[in-house]
Chain A
Amino acid sequence: GQQLNQSPQSMFIQEGEDVSMNCTSSSIFNTWLWYKQEPGEGPVLLIALYKAGELTSNGRLTAQFGITRKDSFLNISASIPSDVGIYFCAGQSREFYFGTGTSLTVIP
């Protein structure tokens, strides 16, 4: 299947710092999605992007759909302890393809 390269694999940051993570693919997608998963729970949808170049915010989260349609990034500003979790990107063409996740640890 298609591979989504998500980086970094893990991040350890101080509370209050900004976070940036991204996903790249060799294929074009029509939709990019970002999810957060906390221990023992399923992924929760954070942001959905539908157009190349689209920039969308959800509170302290901002995500962009890359112009080439082959990449997307997610930024979290002023991180707080409850931001801890694993963040997944997903790209959709006909099917959904998921990245391997970025594990975020926020140190108070």
Chain B
Amino acid sequence: ETGVTQTPRHLVMGMTNKKSLKCEQHLGHNAMYWYKQSAKKPLELMFVYNFKEQTENNSVPSRFSPECPNSSHLFLHLHTLQPEDSALYLCASSQDRGYVYNEQFFGPGTRLTVL
């Protein structure tokens, strides 16, 4: 138990569906991250929020839309995805992007399959 939870753990969706992934952290952190993990590839950073403000968008297609209503919650809204978007989506949190001791703690991930 890392203090970061993600729901759902598994999601199967068609290319025309709209769904959302949810992440919640109970660590009192101020920074939250979305990563995509595909087989045989390093973790790909998608979005970063620090104190609820989006500070990074790593050229992610607009079919992925993040939302951070407060420092404890992070969403990833999905619409008209492609089969190549199938992957494990990981949420992480850390104290503060500007803080020296800034280890990231990960949730268990959502395994997404796009049909």
Contacts A43-B106, A44-B106; A95 near B45 (Cβ below 8 A): yes
Contacts A40-B111, A98-B42; A45 near B100 (Cβ below 8 A): no
Of all chain B residues, the one with the shortest Cβ separation from A2 is B42
Contacts A50-B100, A96-B45; A44 near B111 (Cβ below 8 A): no
Number of A-B contacts (CB under 8 A): 51
> Main secondary structure on chain B at its contact with chain A?
loop
> Main secondary structure on chain A at its contact with chain B?
strand
- Report, as a range, how many residues of chain B touch the other chain: 20 to 34
**Which of A30, A50, A96, A99 is within 8 Å of B104, CB to CB?**
A96
Chain B residues with CB under 8 A of A90: 104
Q: Which residues of B contact A (CB under 8 A)?
A: 2, 4, 6, 40-43, 45, 56, 90, 92, 100-109, 111
Q: Which residues of A contact B (CB under 8 A)?
A: 3-4, 30-31, 33, 35, 40-45, 48, 50, 88, 90, 92, 95-101
